[in-house]
Structure 1
Amino acid sequence: MRKEAFVSDFIQRAVKKTKLPKQVRIFDTTLRDGEQTPGVSFTPDQKILIARQLDKLGVDTIEAGTPASSDGERKAVAA
C-alpha cells in the first residue's frame, strides 16, 4: 500500500477553523488530587517544594489541598 494513502490534511483544515484563545490559564490540582491516588502521600516539605516549582513554571492557580483535613495539611497550605 502506498504511503500517500494514509496522509490527510485534516489537521490543517481543523486548525484553520479553530479560534485559539489569546491566553491560556493553568489550574493545577497536583497537591490535592495527587494525594487521592492510592499509595501517594506528600510530606509538608514535598508539598511546599511542588508548589514552588509550579509557581516557577508560571502556573496561574495551585489547588493546594484541604486545610481543614489536618494540622499538617493546614501548615502546608499556609506555607
Structure 2
Amino acid sequence: MLDPTDTEGRIAIDDASYFLSKIELKKGTAPTMAPWRKRLFIATSHITADAADYFGLPGERTVIMGSRVEV
C-alpha cells in the first residue's frame, strides 16, 4: 500500500481551499408526502448548522456550491 505522503506531497493547511455543497429544499407540487410533512421537513432543514461555521473553515477560502431540490 502507498504512503499518502509519497503520493500527495505536503499539504499547506494555511493555503488550502475548502469546497462544500448545500442543498436548498423547495416545496413542490408532486404528491410525495402530506403538505404538513413537507412544511415540517423544509423548516427543519433551515435550522441545521452551517457546515463552514461548524468545522471552523475560513470564509475567504471556502467555496459553497448548491442545488435546489423540490420535495
Normalised TM-score (structure 2): 0.38
Relative contact order higher in (CA < 8 Å, ≥ 6 apart): 2
Normalised TM-score (structure 1): 0.36
